[in-house]
Amino acid sequence: MINRETNQLCKIAPRFFYGYIVVVAAIFIMMVSFGPYGAFGVFFKPLLAEFGWTRAMTSGAYSLSMILHGVLGIIMGGIADRFGPRLVVTFCGFFLGLGYLLMSQVGAVWQLYLFYGVIIAIGMSGVWVPLMSAVARWFVMRRSLMTGIVVAGAGTGGLIAPPVISRLIAVYDWRLSYVILGSIVLLIMVLAAQFLRREPAQMGQLPYGGGDNEEKQKELESQAKGFSLKEVVYTTQFWLVFIILSCFGFCMIASMVHIVPHATDLGISAVSAANILAVMGGIGIPGNYVLGSVADRIGNRRVFIICFIAIAATFFLLLLARELWMLYLFAVIFGFALGGMSASESPLVASLFGLSSHGLIYGVLSMGFTVGASVGPFLTGYIFDVTGSYQLAFLVCIAIGIIGIILAAVLRPTKRIGGRI
């Protein structure tokens, strides 16, 4: 907890703010972790072509990965609260790189589920929550903006990875592509993790904007006290956020896994279909910046409402889309909305429940996202297997988006923390 003695010590610290180093390191980690992870759809049809698996069976490995990395994210968030993100990200970076290397050796469906569903899940579990929690601790002012900048790393990876992987598969095949991915992920994640620090006090500094005036100091002290996990589960806000993130995860991952096969089903080339996914990830970058900055002004709850409206509208567009330009339009609007919600998650949790157990609480709430994210692609694939079309699945996504709008609209601040959310 910040006190007067700590403030005096931090005031004589060097002018350079180390939080920016944390942000840069986090950007690189997000790029090399979420870029390949979000490009699973590019490997989808090569796997189907070689092994003859159903779409539900193949996407089930991704669903298992989402569930497991959500569960383990709770543990990793708690460890990061205690020991910091450097240890967690280093450990998980090794597993993530190893998982992609092992994917090059897949020969049976159980191996797909072990390598992608388990080992890669272990690697991904130590990325999002520890990094977002660290950024929340380093910044009071500009928290949503800085979170958006870090999340933009995932968008940059999402922009680069699909077309690059698609071309790698075309030139070398999917197995060697996984070897290349695994090597890059392992090297960059482990190296970048060494620059991470848990909180400003470790560097003799205050959070950005935390000591500028008495009002900000009171806000920082209020958030530093915060809730424990045991306390937070008895609040209505906790469960509302859990379900909101479930709706977000359902819509986001269902589209990311199935937009490429849906586009190729419409007669669009594999490269152009991969570019749709790339546009979705790329447009999330300005979404992170713009809506992250907007959230600092109007609150993160309102950004969620706006983005859920956009998501429901774009899935309605997807029902009608038959031409490539319509799919690109979907990717632009949908990706921008995803960027805004991704940037608003962690700051929303901090403003509702404080910072004392932010990593652990955010890890548990992120399970909401992964529950939705695990159900979304599997249910979408199952609906296609049964009906031969994605139309019913898109209608389900519209309904999920509307539920998200309603729940975000009724969310209110907690009494202990107060303020704007």
Alpha-carbon gap, residue 232 to 364, rounded angstroms: 11
Q: Fill in the DSSP letter of residue 206.
A: P
Of 376, 412, 420, 410, the C-alpha closest to 394 is: 376
In this structure, is residue 421 part of a structural domain?
no
Residues 6+ away with beta carbon under 8 Å from 373: 63, 66, 70, 249, 250, 252, 253
- Check residue 2 and give its pLDDT: 41
Q: Could you write out the DSSP letters of every residue in 233-281?
A: TTSHHHHHHHHHHHHHHHHHHHHHHHHHHHHHHTT--HHHHHHHHHHHH
Q: Which of 231, 397, 184 is nearest to 311 (CA)?
A: 397
Residue 21 identity (one-letter amino acid): I
Question: Which residues are CB-neighbours of 147 under 8 A, at least 6 positions away?
Answer: 132, 135, 136, 139, 292, 343, 344, 345, 346, 347
CA distance 390 to 164: 27
pLDDT at 9 (0 to 100): 41
Instruction: Give the pLDDT score at 7.
Output: 47
Q: Is residue 215 part of a domain?
A: yes
- pLDDT tens-digit profile of 284-339? 888 888 888 888 889 899 999 999 999 999 999 999 988 899 999 999 999 999 98
Domain presence at residue 222? yes
Query: Which of 66, 64, 223 lies closest to 141 in space, CA to CA?
Result: 223
Q: How many residues in total does the chain contain?
A: 421
pLDDT computed for residue 11 by the predictor: 47
What's the CA gap between 401 and 385, in Å, rounded?
A: 23
Burial class (CB in 10 A: 0-12, 13-18, 19+), 370: buried
Residue 257 lies in a domain: yes
The pLDDT assigned to 217 comes to: 55
Residue 415 belongs to a domain? no
Identify the CA nearest to 341 among candidates 280, 376, 407, 295. 295
pLDDT at 28: 95
**Cα distance between residue 47 and residue 44, in whole Å:** 5
Provide the number of structural domains found in the chain. Answer: 1
Predicted pLDDT of residue 86: 94
Query: Residue 416 falls within a domain, yes or no?
Result: no
CA of residue 105 relative to chain centroid, distance: 27
- Alpha helices per DSSP H over 172-211: 174-193
Of 204, 188, 158, 185, the C-alpha closest to 24 is 188
Instruction: Find where tokens 């962690």 sit.
Output: 346
- C-alpha 188/C-alpha 29 separation (Å) is 7
- Separation CA 247–CA 243 (nearest Å): 6
CA–CA separation, 263 vs 28, rounded Å?
30
419 within domain boundaries:
no
On whether the CB atoms of residues 175 and 104 are closer than 8 A, the answer is yes
What is the identity of the amino acid at 382? Y
What pLDDT score was predicted for residue 256? 84
Q: Which CATH number fits the domain that encloses residue 259?
A: 1.20.1250.20
Q: List phi, psi (to 5°) of 107.
A: -135, -5
Torsion sign over Cα 68, 71, 77, 82: negative
Angle at 282 between CA 277 and CA 284, to 5 degrees: 105
Q: What is the pLDDT of residues 141-180, one digit of tens each?
A: 888 888 888 988 887 887 788 888 888 998 888 899 999 9
* pLDDT tens sequence for the chain (421 residues): 444 444 444 444 456 889 899 999 999 999 999 989 978 878 888 888 888 888 888 888 888 888 888 889 889 988 988 888 999 999 999 999 999 999 999 989 999 999 999 999 999 999 988 998 899 888 888 888 888 889 888 878 877 888 888 889 988 888 999 999 999 999 999 999 999 998 888 888 888 876 555 555 555 555 556 788 889 999 999 999 999 999 999 999 899 888 888 999 888 988 888 888 878 878 888 888 888 888 888 989 999 999 999 999 999 999 998 889 999 999 999 999 998 898 889 889 988 998 888 888 988 898 888 889 888 988 998 899 899 889 999 999 999 999 999 999 999 998 888 777 8
**Domain of 114?**
18-410
Nearest-angstrom CA–CA distance, 337 and 291: 8
CA nearest neighbour of 73 among 374, 407, 381: 374
What's the token pair of residue 155?
């968008």
User: Has residue 320 been placed in a domain?
Assistant: yes
- Residue-by-residue DSSP string for 156-179: HHHHHHHHHHHHHHHHT-HHHHHH
